Amino acid sequence: MFLLRRGKDRVTVDQAHRRTQGADAPAVLLDVREQDEWNAGHAPGAVHAPLSRLTAGSALPSAVRGRPLVVICRSGNRSQRAAELLAARRAEVVDVKGGMKAWAAAGHPVVDGHGNHGSIA
C-alpha cells in the first residue's frame, strides 16, 4: 500500500504503471484528456474523465469514487490542474510526469477505443 498526498506529488510513468495496473492495483489511472485523444490511445484499464467536464463540475465516474487516483493527460500539464481540482474535492491524488507521451515512450501499453494498438499524438 502507498499513501497519496492530496494534489502535491507527481509520479513517474513506471510508478504510475505499478500503482494502477492489474487486478490488485491500489489506485486507478484517471485519464483527463478529451474524447478524441482517448479514442486514439489510452492505457488499458484507465478510466476516462475529461478535465473540461471536471472543471465544469461533473462528478467523477462511479468506478473511481473513493479510490486513490493517479491522473494522466498527454504531457502532464492538464493532469496537474486535474490533481489540484480533485485534491480540493478531497480525493487522494497524484499526477503523472510526462503524461501519456512518456507512458508510450517507456513502452507501456496503449490501446485505442476498439482495444487495438493505439497512438498518442
Instruction: Kindly state the average pLDDT of the residues 1-27.
Output: 80
Answer whether 103's CB lies under 8 Å from 119's CB.
no
* pLDDT given at position 8: 60
Active site residue 15: no
Whether 12 has a pLDDT exceeding 90, the answer reads yes
Catalytic residue among 27, 54, 71, 73: 73
What mean pLDDT is reported for the chain?
Answer: 92
Give me the DSSP letters along 8-43: EEEE-HHHHHHHHSSTT-SSEEEE-S-HHHHHH-B-
